[in-house]
Amino acid sequence: MSLRDNLLAADTDAEKAAAIDDSIVAVQAQIDAVSKLIYCDVTVTAAALDGGGNVVVKAAETGYAFKIRDVKLVGGGTNFGGAGNRLIDLTDGTTIWTQIANADIESAPTATLPWGNAKVPFLTSTSDTASAAGQNIVFEYSGGTTDHTTGSIKFSVLVERLEA
């Protein structure tokens, strides 16, 4: 039934209010299901990355690819340490959108840094590149030879959902 039908069938103000509430919830669910912009907040830890691990930012969705629209390195994490010499990439395994240098994860910032800052750089020709369809977007180690043993940094990543 439509909202109009539910309102006409309602006998009391409480029933009318319930019909309106139900319609609002249904519309919000539809909006959420097709939202194109999605914020993903993740905490990247040395423990999660060690030994070839990764931290999923946005899990793959059948029929969709994603573009990275913003990245923030959220201040207040803990320094990566333990004599590691690795970098952290935001990638889908094909494209690398940003790469955080070893020195920058070993001294976690106290302030939030935007994408394009020297510590959260835009990489040449990738800022408008969509992910490969069916691939997770993740943070993972690259470069170097030794994993860090401690550390935790939070990122806030805005992705745009695109039909593949």
The model's pTM: 0.79
Q: Is the pLDDT of residue 113 over 70?
A: yes
Distance CA 121, CA 117 (A): 6
**Distances 136 to 64, 103, 115 between C-alpha atoms, Å:** 11, 26, 20
Mean of the per-residue pLDDT values of the chain? 90
Q: Where do the structural domains in the chain lie, given as residue ranges?
A: 3-34, 37-163
From the list 41, 143, 146, the residue with the least C-alpha distance to 89 is 143
CATH of 37-163, one of 1.10.3470, 2.60.120, 3.40.630, 1.10.10: 2.60.120
φ/ψ of residue 28, rounded to 5: -60, -40
What confidence tens digit (pLDDT) does each residue in 46-101 have? Answer: 999 999 999 999 999 999 999 999 999 999 889 998 789 999 999 999 999 999 99
Cβ–Cβ < 8 Å for 120, 112: no
**Distances 108 to 31, 73, 111, 155 between C-alpha atoms, Å:** 37, 9, 9, 12
Specify the pLDDT at position 163. 87
